Amino acid sequence: MANGQKDNETARKEGTGRHALITGASAGIGKDLAEVFARSGFDLVLVARREKRLHEIARDLEHRFAVTVHAVTLDLSEPGAAEWLHNEMRMRGLNIDALVCNAGFGVAGFYRDTSWADQHALCQVMMTGVAELCHRFAPDMGARGYGRILNVASLAGFLPPAPGGTLYIPAKAFEIKLSQALALEYTGENVHVTALCPGFTYTEFHDVMGTRAAMSSMPRFMWMKSMRVAEEGYKAVMQGKPVHIPGRLNRFIAWLAWALPSPAVNAILRRQALYAKKP
């Protein structure tokens, strides 16, 4: 039997009789993570705002991988959404064995020029919501002796703050630190917590942000396909890595951000801010 076949059978056994809940599952990395978990034998709970798209994905995964997929339409920016979701899973009798917090977005423009409603929604989805979902689901996992939590952060979480998109980098840094802390907290309980930190990835994110043209000017070698990111994220959380940065180039960028002297970095960022303010 080929090694690939053995790996697939092992992965399928991992998910047998288990459920994975994935937020932001209607596109991009979240959609591909849903496929990876389904391929590995997990039944799924997919959560996103786009109802029609979510149900299309659910039907496709059920057909291709013979798993059960529950589609839950939910806006995670609404206060109380995480509590409702946890209660809903209990009412349906679904034990969540793997939690993937992938939902997220950015708010383009300078902080002062954006609405607080948009900034508050970002905080709710990418910080408060992630923290609450982990707080509600992780103890159940610990009690059952099995759990996998994958928080989709970003390479940006390792980088210095930049002008525009002001809260995005702090939010991603928060997800990384939260994941590291929880990984330590659940040591020895067979509950793995991982922050997945992709760099430039081909998804709809830049279309939503209105930055597709700018991002398209970046060299192609800097980009990764979202399925590769998803597969690496799945492997990392199964292996119990607290943090995983896909791609050698991205790992080098993270190291460079750590290694460069702060005054030099700040000088570069100040020049970038001044350039961005020019009409």
Going by their DSSP bridges, the two strands 96-101 and 69-73 should be labelled as: unpaired
- Distance, CA of 20 to CA of 129 (rounded, Å): 17
Phi, psi angle pair for 198, to nearest 5°: -75, 155
Q: Where are the beta strands (DSSP E) in the chain?
A: 19-23, 43-48, 69-73, 96-101, 147-152, 191-196, 201-202, 224-225, 243-244
- CA-CA-CA-CA torsion sign (216, 220, 221, 227): positive
Specify the residue for token string 């940065």: 245
DSSP helix/strand/coil, 163: coil
Q: Token digits for 26?
A: 């209607």
Specify the residue for token string 């209660």: 87
168 is known as an active-site residue:
yes
Which one of the listed residues 111, 146, 168, 234 is annotated catalytic? Answer: 168
CA angle 85, 198, 256 (to 5 degrees): 135
DSSP helix/strand/coil, 71: strand
- Distance, CA of 153 to CA of 4 (rounded, Å): 29
Give catalytic residue positions: 168
